[in-house]
A and B are shown apart, each in its own frame.
Chain A
Amino acid sequence: MLEVGDLITGRFKKSSITILYGSDTGTAQDYAYFLSKRLRYLSLNPTIAALDDYPLKKLVTDTSFLIVICATVGQGEVPRNGKKFMKFILKKKLPSDLLNHVSLTTFGLGDSSYPKYNHAIRKIHTRLGQLGCTELCSSCEADEQSSEGLDGYYTVWEQTLIDSLKKFFPTLTPLNDEAILSPSNRLSIETGDVENESDSVLAKTRADIDNEYADTERRLKVGKIKSLERITPSDHFQDVRHLTVEASDLDYQPGDTMALFPTNSAEEVQKLLDSQKKWLSVADKPLKIHGVVPYIEGGLISPEKLTLRRLLTHHLDIMAIPTRSFFFSIWRFVNTDNEDGKREVEKLKEFCDFENSEELYDYANRPRRSIAEFLVEFENNLEIPVQYVFDLFPKIKPRLYSIASKPSENTIELVIGVVEYQTIIKRIRRGLCSRWLKSLNVGDDIIFTLHKQKLKFGDKPLILVGPGTGIAPMKSLIEHRIGSQDMYFFFGFRNETKDYFFKSQWDEFSKKDNFTLFPCISRSDKFKKQYVQNGIFDQKELIQKLILEEEAVIYLCGSNGPMPRQVRETILEILKISGMTEEEAAQYLLSMENTGRYIQETW
C-alpha cells in the first residue's frame, strides 16, 4: 500500500511508471507513445512496451504506476500483442495482493457499433483490481462512434492522469516545449566498414533465430520459396499470390498462422537517405545501438552487421502512415531560421493538436501518406540527427497469414492478396509487405514464424465459410480431413474465370462422398449473384439438420466488414425457421460460440 508519507520522501522513481499497450491496428500504440512523450516532457521517465513484450517480473521490481492502454478485437478479446499478458493474469493461483504495490489507470479504445467493444480493457482492469492494484486515477473507455471521438476521451483522461501523477512527484520541472528529448536508445556511428551482404542473408542474422525462448513461437525459421504464383489473371483487379515455402521441422495445424517479415526496398531507402543529407555519408558505416533495445518481433539483425541503411531496410517502417506521436516529436527538428521553416513548424504542430484532429487525418490517414513521402516533402528544413531514427520511426511489424496447406513437416502454403489502391495521392499506394512480396523470387530464402491458434474442430460435420482469401485455412483443413469427416464448404468468389481459386482441387475432392462445395459467385454474367450468406440460406434445411441434429461446427474466415455479421444473422434466421424464438436462437448461437462450435477468424 502506498503511504502519503512516501510522497514527500521522493520514494517513487521517475522510472517507476510503466505504460503497456495492447494494439491491433496501431491506434492504441500511438496513444501510448504520445502519452509516454508527454510524461517525458514533464521530466518523468516512463517505460513503454506492448503488453506481451514487457517482462512481467518488472511489475514487481520496477513498477509503482501502471498505465494500460488497450484496444478490443474480435469477440471482446485482447489484441494479439496482449494475449500472453492476459493468460498470465487470468491464472487462478495468483494471490489477491500480488500487485498491491501498483497504482493503476486504464484507457480502452472501442467502437460501440460492436457489441463487445471495450471488453478487453474491462477484463484487464477488473482482474488487475482483483490482484491488488489500487486506483491511480479514474479510467476511461473511449468510444470511436461518439461525437467526441477517441481523442475527446483521451484528452480528459490524460489531464486527470497527469494531475494525479503530479501529486506523487511534487518537484517535477517540466521541460521547455522546444527542448529535444534524449533518444531512448543512443546510436553511434563507428569507424571501419561492414561486409557486403545481401538482404536475405542479413535477415537470417536476426536475433530470434538462435534465441532459446521458453515458448517456441518467437523462434524464427528459415525456408526456401518453392513457388510464388499469381492465381488471378493479369486483367483481374486483384493480385492474389499462392506462396509455397519449403522448410524443415515444421509443426502446424489447420487454423494456425504464419508470420512474414517484410523489408523496405533498396530504392525507397535510398530516396529517404537522399532527403536527409547528413545521413547519406554515414549510411554504410557500422552503427551501434546503446542501452537496452526494446523487443522487436523476430529480433534485430546481427549488431556487427548493422548500418543505418540496414536499420532502415529491415526494421524501420518508413512506409507507415505518420501518426500524432510522430509529429509530436518531428517538428522540433525543423530549422526555423527562415520563413519556410517557421511556417512548417506551425503546420506540424497543428498535426499533433487534438483540437485539429481532422487536419492530421486529411493529411496523413485519408490519403495514406507514408513517413517517407512526408520527409521528402519537408526535406528543405528538416534535419533529423541519426541518433533519433530508432525513436522516431515505427518498427516494421511481421505480417500474419492463415496457413493454406495441410499439416506438413516440410511444406507450407499461403494465399496472399496484394494490397494496392489509389487515394488522392497520384502515386499508387501499395502495402509494404505487398511490394516486398512482389520482389521475391523462387529459390530465395525467407524467414518466418509460426503461430498456434489451437483451434479444435472435432469429428462432427464441418460447415466451412471462406470467401476470397478466407479460403486459406479452409484449404488447410479440408486437405487434412478429407475422407474422415463430413465437410460442407461455402466458397465465395467474384467470377468463375477470375478468382475461383484451386478449382481443380475442389473438383477432385467433390468426387468423394463426404465433401460438398457450394460455390457462391457474386459478379458473373453466367450465374445468379450470390454471397456466402445467400448460399448458406439456400441450404437452410441442410444447415438446420447439421447444426441441430449432427452438432456441426461452423468455421468462418475472411475479411472483416459486413460478411461475418451477415453470416451470423443468416445462421440466426435459419435457427428461427426451425422453430426457435428470436431469444432462443440468439442463446443457442451464443452457446455455440462459447463451446467452440462457431469459430470466427476475420481480418
Chain B
Amino acid sequence: MVVQEVKVLYLLHPTVVTDEKLVVETKAKLLGDVTQMLISQIVSKPPSDKFDKIFYVNPNEGEGRYIPNEVLEIFFNCLNEGGEVEGDLPTDQDIDVLMNGFVVENNKWLKPKKFNVISLKKSNKETVSKLGGFKRLNDEKTVKSPGLTDSSIASESEDENNKRKLDKMKLTYFSDSDGESDSEIDENELLESNYTLIKPKKCDTTGKKRRKACKDCTCGLKELEEQELNNQQTLQSKLLSSLSQQATSANREAIAIEERLANKVKLDFKDMSEIDFTIKGKTGGCNSCSLGDAFRCDGCPYLGLPAFKPGEVISLDNFGEDI
C-alpha cells in the first residue's frame, strides 16, 4: 500500500527570513512533505506542483498583511481541491478571497472540492463553434504583413518555452524607441467591417425615454426643455415669493430677495441662506418634497432647491454661491 504524504507549501513573507528561529520552529510543526518558498518566488514563477496546504508566515500586522488579488489567484491555482490556506492571513480581504473561489472558514481558506465544471471535450466540434467561434476577424487577403511564426505552429504550441520565446519576439515590436519614422497604414482603409455586430431588440416600450436635445437641435426638443426650465424657475420663484410674504419680521432677507426677483436682477444667493421652508402648510401632499430632488415629483415646486427637514431652518447655500 502506498501512503501519500500531505504536500505542504511553507510560504514566507520576506520580512520573516531574518528571524531564523521562528522559521525553523514553525516549519518543524508542519507535517508531511514540506516545500519552503518566499512569497515573492511564487509570484515571479508560480509553482507547477499542486499542494494540499499553504502555510503562510507573515509577522506584519494590518496593511502589511495585504495579499494582492493576483497572488490569491496563484494560491488557489496551486492547491489541490479540498486544499487550504492558513497562517498569518489578512482579515479584511474576505471578498477578495471569495472572489478567487475560496470558502472562508475559521481563519482558513478552503478550496472547495467539487466544481460544476462544464465538461468540455476536446473532440466535440460543436462545443468549439459555440465558444464564440474563434474565427479570424480579418480577411486573410487584406493582411500583407508577414507573421512571426507559421500560425499552425503557434496554435499547437502548448509548450511554455515556445510561448515565452514568441512573447519575447512580440515584445520587440513594443519597444519605446521613437516610432516617428515608422510608416503607417491609412486608417481610412480600415472602414470596411466584415465582422458581425449585435443589435438590440427594437424598443417596444412607450418610448418615453427622454433624450437630451442635440447642441444644434432643430426638432423642437430644445425649446421644450427651455420651456420646462422656465416653468420650473417660475415655480421656484413663486414658492420663494409666497414664503417671503408669509414671513415674519425675522425673514426680512427673503423679502429682499423677493424685491430683487421682481426687478429681475440676478440673485445673490448669499442673501438666501436663511429661508424657513418649514412654514406650516408648505410641505407637499406627497410628503416627498423635503427629501431632496431624488425623491421629488415631476413639476414639484421644490425641485432644484435643497432637501430640508420638517421643523428645521434650512440653508440654501450648502455649497456656497458657486457650484
* A interface with B by C-beta (< 8 Å): 1-5, 7-8, 10, 13-15, 40, 43, 45, 56-57, 59-61, 86-88, 90-98, 100, 103-104, 113, 119, 122-123, 125-130, 132-141, 144, 146-149, 152-153, 155-157, 160, 164, 167, 170-171, 173, 175, 179-182, 186, 188, 214, 265, 267-268, 271, 290-291, 319, 343-344, 347, 357-358, 361-363, 365-367, 369-370, 372-373, 376-378, 422-430, 435, 560-562, 565
Contacts and interface: CB of A to CB of B under 8 A. Distances in A.
A424 B232 contact: yes
Question: Which secondary structure dominates where chain B touches chain A?
Answer: loop
A149 B211 contact: yes
Contact of B229 (A88, A160, A291, A424): A424
Interface in B89-116: 93, 95-96, 98-101, 115-116
24 contacts: A1-B134, A43-B99, A43-B101, A60-B167, A91-B182, A96-B146, A122-B190, A126-B190, A134-B136, A140-B198, A144-B211, A167-B131, A173-B101, A179-B98, A267-B320, A291-B68, A358-B209, A361-B210, A377-B306, A423-B304, A424-B232, A426-B269, A426-B304, A426-B316
Nearest to A107: B198
B184 A92 contact: yes
B192 A148 contact: no
A377 B229 CA distance: 21
A148 B63 contact: no
Contacts of A13: 70, 73
Please indicate which of the listed interface residues A96, A127, A141, A560 has the most CB atoms of chain B within 10 Å of its own CB. Answer: A96
B179 A130 contact: no
Nearest to A374: B294
Given A45-B73, A175-B99, A94 B316 contact: no
A156 B131 CA distance: 18
B170 A98 contact: yes
Contacts of B127: 4
B221 to A, nearest CB: 12
B176 A214 contact: yes
A170 B115 contact: yes
Nearest to B177: A214
Contacts of A126: 137-138, 190-193, 195
Nearest to A560: B215
Top 8 closest A-B pairs, CB basis? A129-B137, A1-B155, A43-B99, A562-B216, A424-B304, A129-B138, A152-B200, A90-B184
A60 to B, nearest CB: 5
Contacts of B292: 377-378
B258 to A, nearest CB: 14
Given A113-B214, A156-B201, A61 B171 contact: yes
Contacts of B209: 147, 149, 357-358
B128 A4 contact: yes
A1 B319 contact: no
B149 interface: yes
B323 A40 contact: no
A134 B174 CA distance: 20
B319 A93 contact: no
B117 A171 contact: yes
B44 interface: no
Given A60-B174, A103-B132, A135-B132, 15 more contacts: A4-B127, A40-B99, A94-B145, A135-B137, A141-B197, A148-B203, A149-B209, A152-B203, A153-B200, A156-B199, A370-B323, A372-B323, A373-B318, A377-B306, A561-B215
Contacts of B269: 426-428
Interface residues of B, number: 103
A208 to B, nearest CB: 17
A376 B304 contact: no
A474 to B, nearest CB: 22
Contacts of B96: 182
A276 B184 CA distance: 52
Contacts of A429: 323
B148 interface: yes
Contacts of B307: 377
A253 B91 CA distance: 56
Nearest to A377: B292
B18 interface: no
Interface in B126-161: 127-128, 130-138, 142-143, 145-149, 151, 154-155, 158
A96 B147 contact: yes
Nearest to B133: A135
B131 A426 contact: no
A93 B304 CA distance: 57
Nearest to A90: B184
B200 A90 contact: no
B321 interface: yes
B135 A182 contact: no
A565 B115 CA distance: 59
A430 B304 contact: no
A361 B131 contact: no
A97 B117 contact: no
Contact of B136 (A129, A164, A361): A129
Nearest to B93: A182
Please indicate which of the listed interface residues A113, A186, A424, A560 has the most CB atoms of chain B within 10 Å of its own CB. Answer: A424
Please indicate which of the listed interface residues B98, B135, B184 has the most CB atoms of chain A within 10 Å of its own CB. Answer: B184
A427 B63 contact: no
B193 A427 contact: no
Interface string B171-191: 101101011001111010011
A61 B166 CA distance: 11
Interface in B206-253: 207-212, 214-216, 229, 232-233, 236
A103 B321 CA distance: 51
Nearest to B128: A4
A318 B135 CA distance: 45
A97 B322 contact: no
Contacts of B193: 122, 125-126
Contacts of A271: 318-320
Contact of A362 (B158, B178, B210, B305): B210
Nearest to A265: B322
Contacts of B214: 113
A182 B96 CA distance: 7
A104 B137 contact: yes
A97 B148 contact: yes
Nearest to B269: A427
B202 interface: yes
Contacts of A370: 319, 323
Please indicate which of the listed interface residues B136, B184, B197 has the most CB atoms of chain A within 10 Å of its own CB. Answer: B197
Contacts of A2: 134
Nearest to A111: B214
Contacts of B88: none
Contacts of A119: 191
A290 B63 contact: yes
Contact of A1 (B95, B154, B182): B154
Nearest to A187: B63
Interface string B308-323: 0000000011111111
Contacts of B210: 358, 361-362
A426 B137 contact: no
